[in-house]
Structure 1
Amino acid sequence: MPYRLTVLGTGYLGATHAACMAELGFEVLGLDVDQAKIDRLRRGDLPIHEPGLEELLRRNLESGRLRFTTSFEEAANFGDVHFVCVGTPQKKGEYGADVSYLDAVIESLAPHLDRQCLVVGKSTVPVGTAERLAEKLVRLAPAGAQVELAWNPEFLREGFAVRDTLHPDRIVLGVASDRAEKVLRDVYAPLGEEIPIVVTDYPTAELVKSAANAFLATKISFINAMAEVCEAAHADVKQLSLALSFDERIGGKYLNPGLGFGGGCLPKDIRAFMARAGELGAYQALTFLSEVDAINMRRRARMVDLARELVGGSFEGRTVGVLGAAFKPNSDDIRDSPALDVSVTIAQHGGKVTVYDPVALGNARAAHPDLGYADSARGAARDADVVLLLTEWQEFVEIDPEELGLVVAARNIVDGRNALDADAWREAGWHYRALGRP
């Protein structure tokens, strides 16, 4: 391979990108300032749950193509292309994105860049960030203008990150020179020629990710707004969604009604998008995202209300079994998890809550030690006055309603993801309720 790659930041995005680039045949050096995380990665111990990623990590460690370090000097000396994959969380008390981790990486790496290279941002950032960082690189790097910046946003879905990296539906290259474009085309050439590549400027590349997440959030909140109307009209949002999905202008993807979105991307990204639009004087263009966000949060409150109805109007002295802690299946990510938000709210209202999740229990326990936890779905449901399905793990979708009914105090269930067979649960004697359905 003509280039050696570094990946700066080994969280969810960085660990995935490093392992996948090594899998494509590149020599890759991953960097993080967290020594404990680097030690784990060197042992082939993945600190996150992502299907298929640990196998890639271990295989490429063994081959020698993938290594890890905490030294920016080593990374600068090693790499021809430096991918920046650090987080941009929501600022505390504000909607805007905190890009301080990005600045810290640039300020730590640039003083060691004494030869021609390309720094590639993959993080989701407010538009205008790339141009500012490009100027900072040239100012701080000994090699000056020989150090270029490109912006190459990621479009990973948790649970499908390996597939999305090795088989992306598109690649966006925000570049300021033909050389930067050529380098990135070379880097991604092993993925195949059939993948669409969009070459554009910095601000457009930055906006692509923000716009994509805003659209997805809007589509999810749209069907959940329809669920609110369906409840008021005694209609069935699942059938409504099905009918809409046959319209090729609309399609069925992300049109699943339920508890709404969470995680470390959509909520904070749409808020950061609104904040940046306001700074640019274009706030009115994105005011609809305020309602998208509000609809999403209302779903959580409605879930609590449905559960309260099924236990007689109060959670005091009631036992609640919760299936799911992660914000989505096939992940152990609990950031802004609707499942845990609902669980904590019910506990605050006097309910005795017991949670089970196939992989996210450790993270949930650490974040919310006051909740109860079980090591199985049956354990979470034992003696429950109501069971809540809050994360649609396949394990939960396939539960035998008759078998689960043997351990509960009352056969009440609220399907927060519209994932269960309502008829089968009702035939087994359960009082079945779901968001947006009669």
Structure 2
Amino acid sequence: MRLTVIGTGYVGLVHAACMADMGHMVLGIDLDADRIESLARGRTPFYEPGLGELLHRTIESGHLRFTTSLAEAARFARTHFVCVGTPQRPDSNAADLRFVDAVMDDLAPYLRDLGGWCLVVGKSTVPVGTAVRLEERLGKVAPQAEIAWNPEFLREGFAVQDTLRPERLVAGVVSPRGEATLRGVYAPMLRVGIPFISTDLSTAELVKLAANSFLATKISFINAMAELCDATGADVMTLAEAVGRDSRIGHAFLQPGLGFGGSCLPKDIRALVARAEELGLGDSVAFLQQVDEINTRQRRRAIALAKQLVGGSFSGRNVAVLGAAFKPGSDDVRDSPALAVAAGIYCQGARVRVHDPRAVDRARAVFPGLQFALDVPKSCEDADVVLHLTAWPEYGEIDPARLAAVVRRPVILDARHNLDAARWRSSGWTFRAFGRPWLGGPPPLDFDARSVHRIHDVNEHDQSMFSSHGGLPQ
């Protein structure tokens, strides 16, 4: 089939390359001429495992090419995927739909002039009711064009895998022809038994937001339990293991730590709350506001515990931060908990040096005041405390005995629960982690669980960084 993908950000580029790899003829469209030129040469604008190789292969095969022209896109295919960003609005928690609206408005005249039936498929994450509104908007100019909604469920770091072998395909359609077209697009997946869920437009929109809200709730729940463990001496890791053994709950996303970030979960739960409030149903999802607050509080708790570990003040202290990306396997620093903590500590007077295997350049662009290092020992030189904030696998391979030789004080906060506490402690390190203050022994003499909860002295400037939603396009 011939397909277009409008928007070559994270979702769009992965979708375009994967559809081309499945054998479709795909045209990618973006208004950024520099980006299109770079993509045509096989250069990816962000890091995603496997995407670079996929891009080169599909370009060389002739199945994928790029343009800035919507007119060319309308002529090229009858099925158009819209993959532009829907970030959080700067003035509210609602989703900013300007880019989706602009694509529909700009594409519609070309579809009208060409005539004939065509399908415009939204993949962007939007508030429920958007597709119906866009259907009416598009129909006024190009009545032969049909809308469908096909949300994506990508995990950064696994996006290629999630696109080629998804757990399910959800299609919101308004006609049998629209459904048949999408079944044709995904025919190779359907042949291997991947479930195809056909539904209405509103349900398809809501599925993505509901899924992300549920995942965010699990993360905040276990972090709330970690707070109780800090106050009582219980072990959150054992708690999570025991609770996760319940088949109704499971272990997925029941990992205590610094909380969630990135371009999806934070803004999606806020957008869902905002839309519910518009519908007069704010009380129904009010718990998501608490989910968001617990998540943001984890960042303040990390700063409070780090401050305690350096003696109560960051002034004149050296802080090493391991991790800047919001998650391993990505160079994305949008709403990164790690970067928010690093910046918050810097604003309280510490010298902060950050290491990340992939995200240093993007992190430096967001917070140029921080120092950055290209290797772990350099980032930890003369550190008074080391903060493990992004769970890159290579951090689990660090030799704590060797690292102890370069720091000023062998003290580490494992905010991701991915390090071997016994190994670090046997190498002479003071080791701390949320929900595990005792680590199997008596409380350390310098630990005051209550002080970790006294986090309200963070000033407004620091607080603004904990829920940043700027960054890269979708």
Which band: TM-score by shorter chain? over 0.9
1:192: Cα distance to partner?
Answer: 3.4
SS at 2:186 equivalent: helix
Aligned pairs for 1:327-338 within 5 A: 327-338=326-337
SS at 1:192 equivalent: helix
Q: What's the counterpart of residue 183 of structure 1? A: 181
SS at 1:44 equivalent: coil
SS at 2:45 equivalent: coil
Distance in 2 (CA, whole Å) between partners of 1:226 and 1:27 is 50
Q: What's the counterpart of residue 201 of structure 1? A: 200
Give the one of 144, 169, 172 matched to 2:170.
172
The one-letter code matched in structure 2 to 1:177 is S
The one-letter code matched in structure 2 to 1:139 is K
The number of equivalent residue pairs is 433
Give the one of 51, 59, 62 matched to 1:53.
51
SS at 1:104 equivalent: helix
Distance in 2 (CA, whole Å) between partners of 1:111 and 1:350 is 56
TM-score with structure 2 setting the length: 0.91
Aligned pairs for 1:33-432 within 5 A: 33-113=31-111, 114=114, 115-141=116-142, 144=143, 146-193=144-191, 194-432=193-431
Distance in 1 (CA, whole Å) between partners of 2:125 and 2:214 is 15
The one-letter code matched in structure 2 to 1:119 is V
Distance in 2 (CA, whole Å) between partners of 1:284 and 1:433 is 38
Distance in 2 (CA, whole Å) between partners of 1:102 and 1:253 is 32
Distance in 2 (CA, whole Å) between partners of 1:330 and 1:247 is 29
The one-character-per-residue Cα deviations of 1:74-115 (angstroms, maximum 9, x if unpaired) are: 000001210000000000030100000000101111110123
The one-character-per-residue Cα deviations of 1:381-438 (angstroms, maximum 9, x if unpaired) are: 1110000000000011111111111110010000010110111100000000011112
SS at 1:383 equivalent: coil
The one-letter code matched in structure 1 to 2:269 is I
TM-score with structure 1 setting the length: 0.98
The one-character-per-residue Cα deviations of 1:303-339 (angstroms, maximum 9, x if unpaired) are: 0011111100000000000000000000000000000
Distance in 2 (CA, whole Å) between partners of 1:190 and 1:403 is 50
1:136: Cα distance to partner?
Answer: 1.4
Distance in 2 (CA, whole Å) between partners of 1:83 and 1:60 is 18
List runs of 5+ in structure 1 lacking aligned partners.
none
Bigger CA drift: 254-263 or 233-242? Answer: 233-242
The one-letter code matched in structure 2 to 1:118 is L
Q: What's the counterpart of residue 6 of structure 1? A: 4
Q: Identical aligned pairs, as a percentage?
A: 60
The one-letter code matched in structure 1 to 2:99 is Y
The one-letter code matched in structure 2 to 1:31 is I
CA RMSD in angstroms comes to 0.7
The one-character-per-residue Cα deviations of 1:23-74 (angstroms, maximum 9, x if unpaired) are: 0000000000111111110010000100000100010101111000000000
Q: Stretches of 4+ moved more than 6 A in 1?
A: none
The one-character-per-residue Cα deviations of 1:234-290 (angstroms, maximum 9, x if unpaired) are: 111011101111111110000000000000000000000000000111111100001
Distance in 1 (CA, whole Å) between partners of 2:66 and 2:227 is 49
The one-character-per-residue Cα deviations of 1:197-242 (angstroms, maximum 9, x if unpaired) are: 1110011000000100000000000000000100011111011101
Distance in 1 (CA, whole Å) between partners of 2:396 and 2:226 is 21
Q: What's the counterpart of residue 20 of structure 2? A: 22
The one-character-per-residue Cα deviations of 1:326-368 (angstroms, maximum 9, x if unpaired) are: 0000000000000010000000000000001000000001111
SS at 1:362 equivalent: helix
8 Å CA contact retained: 2:217, 2:288? yes
List runs of 5+ in structure 2 lacking aligned partners.
438-474
Distance in 2 (CA, whole Å) between partners of 1:309 and 1:73 is 60
Distance in 2 (CA, whole Å) between partners of 1:366 and 1:36 is 19
8 Å CA contact retained: 2:190, 2:196? no
1:138: Cα distance to partner?
Answer: 1.5
